[in-house]
């Protein structure tokens, strides 16, 4: 089993990604519109963020802040909303692209924060 195959097998959930639409009004103002689907049924997995020296310096992260893993090429951006099951998360920082050992984009990792139920 290759590294890529093992990673794909670990993506045991699916998610839907939505993004707020942006338009420019006649007078030049930017207007934020209703969220629209950016991607659906994307293989993913959420994982706790492990403690590292830099995180320990600021204290532990809250339990509602997690790391999201998705395949390379997924259309995922900062401020997107990601729904996994009944829970919605907000992407709080630009996703990072990670390469495989051969230098080919392998997967994306993003820090997400669980949204409060309204």
Q: Give the pLDDT confidence of 24-49 residue by residue, as tens digits.
A: 888 888 888 888 899 999 999 998 88
- Check whether 75 has a pLDDT greater than 50: yes
In the predicted model, what is the mean pLDDT of the chain?
Answer: 84
Exposure string of 88-118, with b = 16+ CB inside 10 Å and e = fewer, is bbebeeebeeeeeeeeeebbbebbbebeeee
Which CATH superfamily includes the segment(s) 3-114? Protein of unknown function DUF3599 (2.40.10.370)
Residue 80, pLDDT > 80, answer yes
Q: Residues 50-62: pLDDT tens digits?
A: 666 455 555 555 5
pLDDT of 1: 47
- For position 101, what pLDDT does the model report? 72
| Among the listed residues 16, 13, 68, the one whose alpha carbon sits nearest the alpha carbon of residue 38 | 16
Rounded to an integer, what distance in angstroms lies between the CA atom of residue 108 and that of residue 118?
29
Q: What does pTM read for this prediction?
A: 0.79
């Amino acid at each position: 089993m290759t590294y890529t195959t093992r990673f794909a097998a670990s993506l045991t959930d699916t998610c839907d990604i939505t993004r707020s639409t942006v338009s420019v009004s006649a007078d030049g103002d930017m207007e934020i519109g209703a969220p629209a689907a950016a991607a659906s049924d994307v293989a993913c997995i959420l994982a706790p963020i492990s403690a590292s020296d830099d995180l320990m310096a600021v204290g532990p992260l809250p339990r509602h802040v997690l790391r999201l893993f998705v395949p390379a090429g997924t259309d995922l951006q900062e401020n997107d909303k990601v729904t996994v099951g009944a829970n919605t998360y907000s992407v709080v920082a630009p996703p990072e692209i990670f390469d495989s050992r051969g230098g080919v984009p392998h997967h994306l990792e993003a820090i997400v924060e669980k949204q409060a139920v309204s």
